[in-house]
Structures are given as C-alpha cells and as structure tokens.
Amino acid sequence: MKKKILIVEDEPILSDLLFQFLNEEGFEVKMAQTAEEGIKRAKEFFPDLILLDILLPGKSGYEFLLEIKKDEKLSLVPVIVLSNLGQEEEIQKSLSLGAKEHLIKANLTLEEIVKKVKEIIGQEKS
C-alpha cells in the first residue's frame, strides 16, 4: 500500500513541485493551503507523514502542530516542518511542539527532502 503524505504549504509552486516529486516517488499525496484546511485533511486522510510550512495565511504552522498534538490519533503522525524560517529559536519551537525535524526549504533539494521523508517513514515503521 502506498504511503500517504500531506503537504501543508500556501505557495502553489512549492506545493506543486513537492506534490509531483513525491507522487513520482510512489507516495499518495494530498495538499492543503492553510492550517485549518490541513487539520481537516489530516483527519480525513490520516497521513503517514505531514510536511508543514510555518508562515501560512490565518493560523500558523505552530498552531497546526499544537492542534494535532491534542488529537489522540494525529498526535502520532510524524511532522517535518519545511519552512524558510530557520533561526535557532524558530527551530527549537518546532521541535518543542513535537515536530520530528525543522528543515529550511531554500537549503534543500527536492531529492534531499524525499530522502528525509523516506528516512522518517522508515523509522516510524520499525
């Protein structure tokens, strides 16, 4: 069965490229443009991993993290924060709210992101 990824990202060019790349790597991918939509999608789709931006219209990615950590089932889904915020306290905030990793988009290639996704999903399986 295909592993499921939810992308919460408001910048269409970035979410589209991530979507296509992950799709071609054999993942089943859904997208959301806001935190609110992301939470709704996460509850319906129940992904194996969430890729989450922080600066989103309306609620932020941090608020998204807080909310899913309150949900018994979703709180177990690993989240990779994929943001262009990358200062030490921003990274620490993501991690303290339960994100597995906080990665800086501009520093990574799509291939590196896919590798990270596979690593984390692999870890979760075992």
Partner 1 sequence: MFQFKLQNEDFELILDSISDGVLILDNSKKIIFVNKGFCEIFSLDKEIIGQKFEKLLDFEQAKKLFFLLGSELKETERKELQVKDDLFLEVSCKTIKKGEEPLAILILVHDISKAKMVDRLKTQFVSVSAHQLRTPLSGMKWSIEYLLKGKAGSISTKQQQLLEKVFQLINEMTIIVHQLLQVARAEEGKISLNLKKSDLLEILYSAISLYEAEMKRKKIKFQIQLPKEKLPKIRLDPEYMGLVFQALLDNAIKYNREGGEVEIALFLEKKEIKVAIRDTGIGIPEKEKPLIFSRFYRATNAQKMVPSGSGTGLFLSKVIIEGHQGKIWFESEEGKGTTFYFTLPIL
Instruction: List interacting residues with partner 1 (CB under 8 A).
Output: 11, 13-14, 17-18, 20-21, 24, 84-88, 104-107, 109-111
Identity of the residue, 104 or 120, whose beta carbon is nearer to partner 1 in the bound complex: 104
Quick one: tokens of 40? 């709704």
Identity of the residue, 72 or 88, whose beta carbon is nearer to partner 1 in the bound complex: 88
In what helix (H) or strand (E) does residue 16 lie, and over which residues does it extend?
Answer: helix 12-24
Quick one: tokens of 86? 């990358």
SS3 category, 116: helix
Q: How many CB atoms lie within 10 A of CB 109?
A: 9
Identity of the residue, 86 or 98, whose beta carbon is nearer to partner 1 in the bound complex: 86
Tell the smallest beta-carbon distance from residue 77 to partner 1 (Å): 24
Tell the smallest beta-carbon distance from residue 18 to partner 1 (Å): 8
Tell the smallest beta-carbon distance from residue 56 to partner 1 (Å): 12
- For 87, residues 6+ apart whose C-beta sits below 8 A from its C-beta are none
* Residue tagged 């906080």 (tokens): 102
- Rounded CA-CA distance 105/107 in Å is 5
Tell the smallest beta-carbon distance from residue 75 to partner 1 (Å): 28
Identity of the residue, 74 or 110, whose beta carbon is nearer to partner 1 in the bound complex: 110
